[in-house]
Structure 1
Amino acid sequence: MKGSEGARRGRVLRLAAAAVIALLVGGTAVADEVRWRQDAPARYTVKSGDTLWDIAGHFLHAPWRWPGVWQKNPQIDNPHLIYPGDRITLRDCDGRPCLGLERGQDVVKMTPKMRALPRREAVLPLPMSVLKAFLREHRVVDKPESLDELAYVVGTENKRLISGAGDQIFVRPVEASATAELQSGQRLGIFRRGEVYRDAAGEPLGLELISIGEGVLASKSADMMRMNVKQSSQEVRSNDIILPLETRLDAAEMDPRVPQRDVAGHIVGVPGGVRFIGRLQVVAVDLGTEDGIQPGHVLSIEQQGERVVDPRTEEQVRLPGEVEGTLVVFRPYDRVSYAIVMEATSTLAVGDAVHPPR
């Protein structure tokens, strides 16, 4: 059985190699669109905690190419929904390799008592728990100068210098129109000024705000609001910023894909002040919605080439860079975006270039 399965996998991988050679001979620019791993399994059983990126990575060198090799099964209602226990198979589809789905079956032991089965959760495209946890702690204000227009803490109950969970704070709205839609009982975020992200010329791209905690609006008037602090990771202080919580991430919008524009940018920051960057770390890049960037966009990370001295002219020159990683944008703003590093073959750093996969 194992021998026949290995022969089948080898036949499909030979088809994949032949397809790539044919593309190279034809001279097309998309020769590496679908590059199959030589160690790809004949089938893979989905496990709890997997992401679509992880699963595709068992078969493809470029996991975001998953939709291009996905063979829909008409017997399955929605083949895009994959669950733990399902089996992904490497197949021969009319002479070309593809991936198919064999739906797993829940095994239920019969007993005299009725038993409720837990609802199965579909596999997500990216590690959404990591992204949601990050966004609870960080956000960006597109224009740093607009910080002076946001509501801010002016005092605390009993004249305390700092406050925490269970305390009441007083907030002053700079403009009544900015807080007109806020309702009593609404949860609001408490933030503090972080890093100003800048482009290569030093121009500001956006201001990072770091979450201090959350509170509930108790009451408001034209020039003052009362908030009850419900949770805090640090002490709430005078001049901290108050903002409505951002819209939650939608996994349906996070399917990885390549940007339509040929954009080029750089990693401009690492929230938390980390110097070196690895897999599943969040970075800020100097590309945003003004550049056509959307959630799910995939970018290659190209390390800066080493600086060397030309032996004849004695001038310093930079060697060409090498692609050493891949990131996926999950929260774009106007001119800057947060992205998660999904692949890193070496240590990455601020200043590394990003561009669509080539």
Structure 2
Amino acid sequence: MMKSLQRILCLGVLLVASLAMADSIQLRDGHPDVYYVKKGDTLWDISARFLENPWQWPELWHDNPEIDNPHLIYPGDEIRLSWQGGEPRLTVNRDGNSRTQLPDGTIKLTPRARELDRDSAIPAIPMSAIQSYLKEALVVSREEIADAPYVVGGQDRRVVYGMGDTIYARDPDTQFENAPPRYGIYRVGEEYVDPETDEVLGYEARQIGLASITGHEDDMVTMEVVRSSEDIRVDDRLFPQPDRRVRAVLYPHAPDEKTTGHIIRFFDRINSVARNDVVVMNLGEREGMEPGHVLDIFQQGELVRDRQRDEMVRLPRTRSGSLVLFRVYEKVSYGLIMESLRPIYMQDIVESPEGSY
């Protein structure tokens, strides 16, 4: 009797969870029933054709034994929306035909052999908008700055150096033990500070060049500058060049728990940012953030005076957009704004999407 009751309770919980998921998923008005993936698409763009909240994409996937990883979508794939048990489902059809839409709306199929690899899959978000931040940006701690090798000089007693020049760098602590053949040359700049706690979250290190080691003696190396985007100076730091590609399997999804933070930095903008701009948030790995996490953006309500009670009150906040994290460090994250309903400002709130926790 007790086991039967437990089964009934478990089934009830699963049914409620399933209904809650179905109720929370909103299809976009005018959504297509079929969409053919084309070159230049992103996973977010395709999701937005079907859903009000593109991050809910994984919840609609129907198991397809012919597709090893449904999050790897390729040009020519057919995305089809169907209904099963009253719930929407998305499936991928990959039959090897090349599709061309004719002016009258007819789809022309051209058979072809398809060799698929992960690198040819469509990306989750526009790679052109984040490529430079993947290759040229680091967030480092005060300790990492102090321990990093640094430029001490160059030939001809000059004070600035560029591509083709010879420079010298020193590493008193490890003497370049197990040094890679190339280093990125970085300039340490912006200090990231939490707006609520005043905690120093890290320091922005911006790559300004790339240099190869041509000689090594004790704690000093000789290097040739093979690339520079601006003048290289004494005290600039050296950091190894990790693989900083965003994998094709990165896809937008919501955090498991409610998380709230603030935008603390944006780039090349003075007052506000919008769609396809990059911002920095005071949330990182220690808060459970990971690449692909989606966060909604809210403007803090204006502080106004209630003349009836002669007191200051804050107006309700308003949703201003959403973003996807693409690079996550211990205490901060870089995100790309995917949607902007109005201008987005410094100190705006970022939060897990409603209904995702």
Q: TM-score, normalised by structure 1?
A: 0.83
**Aligned match of 1:18:** none
Secondary structure (helix, strand or coil) at the match of 2:52 reads coil
Mapped pair 1:300 → 2:285: no
Secondary structure (helix, strand or coil) at the match of 2:55 reads helix
The range that moved more, 130-139 or 235-244, is 130-139
Once the two structures are superposed, what CA deviation does each residue of 1:125-165 show, in whole Å capped at 9, x if it has no partner? 22234323222221111x23542322111101121221111
**Aligned match of 1:160:** 158
Secondary structure (helix, strand or coil) at the match of 2:27 reads coil
**RMSD over aligned Cα, in angstroms?**
2.6
Secondary structure (helix, strand or coil) at the match of 1:176 reads coil
**Aligned match of 1:314:** 310
| In structure 2, distance between residues paired with 1:211 and 1:314 | 53
Mapped pair 1:82 → 2:78: no
Q: 1:353 to 1:217 in 2, by over 3 A?
A: same
Q: 1:253 to 1:152 in 2, by over 3 A?
A: farther
Q: Count residues with an aligned counterpart.
A: 324
**Aligned match of 1:339:** 335
| In structure 2, distance between residues paired with 1:338 and 1:314 | 42
Unaligned segments of structure 2, at least 5 residues: 1-15, 101-111
Q: 1:279 to 1:135 in 2, by over 3 A?
A: same
Q: 1:290 to 1:78 in 2, by over 3 A?
A: closer
The range that moved more, 94-103 or 302-311, is 94-103
Please say if residues 293 and 332 of structure 1, whose CA atoms lie closer than 8 Å, have aligned partners that are also in contact.
Answer: yes
> Counterpart amino acid of 1:351?
Q
**Aligned match of 1:125:** 124
> Counterpart amino acid of 2:266?
V
| In structure 2, distance between residues paired with 1:255 and 1:116 | 27
1:67 to 58, 71, 84: 58
**Aligned match of 2:42:** 51
Residue 219 of structure 1, CA deviation: 2.2
| In structure 2, distance between residues paired with 1:338 and 1:282 | 7
Please say if residues 193 and 207 of structure 1, whose CA atoms lie closer than 8 Å, have aligned partners that are also in contact.
Answer: yes
> Counterpart amino acid of 2:179?
L
**Aligned match of 2:146:** 148
Q: TM-score, normalised by structure 2?
A: 0.83
| In structure 2, distance between residues paired with 1:272 and 1:227 | 31
**Aligned match of 2:28:** 37
Residue 33 of structure 1, CA deviation: 3.2
| In structure 2, distance between residues paired with 1:31 and 1:79 | 20
Q: 1:76 to 1:203 in 2, by over 3 A?
A: closer
Please say if residues 71 and 249 of structure 2, whose CA atoms lie closer than 8 Å, have aligned partners that are also in contact.
Answer: no
Secondary structure (helix, strand or coil) at the match of 1:349 reads coil
Please say if residues 286 and 337 of structure 1, whose CA atoms lie closer than 8 Å, have aligned partners that are also in contact.
Answer: yes
Residue 87 of structure 1, CA deviation: 2.2
| In structure 2, distance between residues paired with 1:350 and 1:61 | 26
Residue 212 of structure 1, CA deviation: 0.7
Please say if residues 306 and 318 of structure 1, whose CA atoms lie closer than 8 Å, have aligned partners that are also in contact.
Answer: yes
Mapped pair 1:181 → 2:173: no
| In structure 2, distance between residues paired with 1:137 and 1:82 | 28
| In structure 2, distance between residues paired with 1:83 and 1:116 | 14
Q: 1:260 to 1:83 in 2, by over 3 A?
A: same
Q: 1:42 to 1:31 in 2, by over 3 A?
A: closer
Residue 222 of structure 1, CA deviation: 2.8
**Identical columns (%):** 41
Please say if residues 132 and 248 of structure 1, whose CA atoms lie closer than 8 Å, have aligned partners that are also in contact.
Answer: no
Once the two structures are superposed, what CA deviation does each residue of 1:81-109 show, in whole Å capped at 9, x if it has no partner? 3211222122122332222223351379x
**Aligned match of 2:223:** 227
Once the two structures are superposed, what CA deviation does each residue of 1:221-267 show, in whole Å capped at 9, x if it has no partner? 33211111001110111111111113323415522222223221100
Residue 61 of structure 1, CA deviation: 0.9
| In structure 2, distance between residues paired with 1:29 and 1:313 | 41
**Aligned match of 1:106:** 98
**Aligned match of 2:271:** 275
| In structure 1, distance between residues paired with 2:329 and 2:68 | 36
Secondary structure (helix, strand or coil) at the match of 1:56 reads helix
Q: 1:107 to 1:288 in 2, by over 3 A?
A: closer
Once the two structures are superposed, what CA deviation does each residue of 1:9-32 show, in whole Å capped at 9, x if it has no partner? xxxxxxxxxxxxxxxx99x87576
